[in-house]
Amino acid sequence: MQDRLKRMQAEGIAEIAQAPDTRALDDIRVALLGRKGALTEILRGLGTAPPDQRPAIGKAANAVKKALEEAIDARKTVLETQVARREARETAVDMSLPGRRPMRGHMHLVPQVAEEILGIFLELGFQAATGPDVETEYYNFDSLNTPPDHPARDLHDTFFVKPGVVLRSHTSPVQMRVMEKHAPPVAVVVPGRVYRNDYDASHSPMFYQIEGLLVDKGVSFADLKGTLLLFIHRFFGPDTEMRFRPHFFPFTEPSAEVDISCSVCKGEGCRLCKNTGWLEILGCGMVHPVVFGYAGYDCETYTGYAFGLGIDRIAMLRHAIDNIHHLYENDLRFLEQF
């Protein structure tokens, strides 16, 4: 009997190892371990064996049963893995086909660049302020030390709504609106649309500016240089050089225009920078005492700086856009590039 069991185990295991698929394996299991299976028969016939041999035979039969079960399970795992592999092979993806992408929108380049610049100043502790597009001449000019008949008014081809009311020609009127309402310190950045009656290949009658204003005790021109250098390094890259050049704005004194080293030729001289190696990006200066006077600030106690930059121009420089009108034609083939 013991021999028979041993043989059964050896033959069973061999058969199991040969089973070509799970179905054949199942047939083997039924034939060996099923209700009418060979081993079941033996166990069932245990009652006819001599009583003294019964425990030994029972034990041996159970060991065989366990061994066969384990062999079946192991073979099953092997076969299932084979099947899974084959199926995976048959349904393999084509890595060269494009994925199914969720729809992606694009932020317009002007707000995109404005937001990035704004973000740099917000991080420095400035906060956003806004003002109306249709503005009084008082805020747009007079209170910014540009009285009627000031020659600087000629530089802004101003749109008029009616006498005394204009489309703001810069974001600077918001300086005065903020200072009028709040005692120093003031640290604001002002994004917004501005308007000049100038429409040709390189001018759009509406464009976008960001203004900055910092007023506190002890704010200096060196602080202005430091703030803008930090901005330039963050926005244009740490290798970008900065140049401060004297200029004139009625509402700042001293005033400066700021250039950065040409992004194309790195200062060597090219068409973009007209061979100067420099690109003008913004205007700035120390807040004029007359402006403080209009704001009701004591210009002996407080000093401040202001700067204004044209987002359109900066976006065009950074992305090598050759025509400002691309920005406002809103052709999807343009918008989707950014």
DSSP secondary structure code for residue 150 in this structure: -
Nearest distance in Å: CB 297, another protein: 14
In terms of CB distance, is 49 or 229 closer to another protein?
229
In terms of CB distance, is 149 or 322 closer to another protein?
149
In terms of CB distance, is 17 or 183 closer to another protein?
183
Say whether 75 sits in a helix, a strand or coil.
helix
Which two structure tokens, joined as six digits, stand for 54? 């019964």
Q: Residue type for 246, please?
A: P
Q: Let me know: does 272 contact 262? Beta carbons within 8 Å.
A: yes
Nearest distance in Å: CB 293, another protein: 11
332: Cβ contacts below 8 Å, ≥ 6 apart: none
In terms of CB distance, is 42 or 186 closer to another protein?
186
Of 240, 245, 198, 223, nearest to 304 by C-alpha is 223
What whole-number distance in Å separates Cα of residue 289 and Cα of residue 285? Answer: 12
Strand order of the sheet with strand 165-167? 134-136, 165-167, 160-162
Nearest distance in Å: CB 257, another protein: 8
What whole-number distance in Å separates Cα of residue 158 and Cα of residue 144? Answer: 15
In terms of CB distance, is 64 or 215 closer to another protein?
215
Nearest distance in Å: CB 175, another protein: 12
Nearest distance in Å: CB 77, another protein: 34
35 burial (CB, 10 Å; 0-12 / 13-18 / 19+) is exposed
In terms of CB distance, is 50 or 151 closer to another protein?
151
Nearest distance in Å: CB 86, another protein: 24
Nearest distance in Å: CB 248, another protein: 4
Nearest distance in Å: CB 251, another protein: 11
What is the separation of C-alpha 111 from the centre of its chain, rounded to a whole number of angstroms? 14
In terms of CB distance, is 222 or 320 closer to another protein?
222
What whole-number distance in Å separates Cα of residue 299 and Cα of residue 29? Answer: 99
Sequence-ordered alpha helix ranges (H) in 19-157: 22-33, 38-44, 54-90, 109-124, 137-140
In terms of CB distance, is 47 or 125 closer to another protein?
125
152: Cβ contacts below 8 Å, ≥ 6 apart: 146, 248, 249, 250
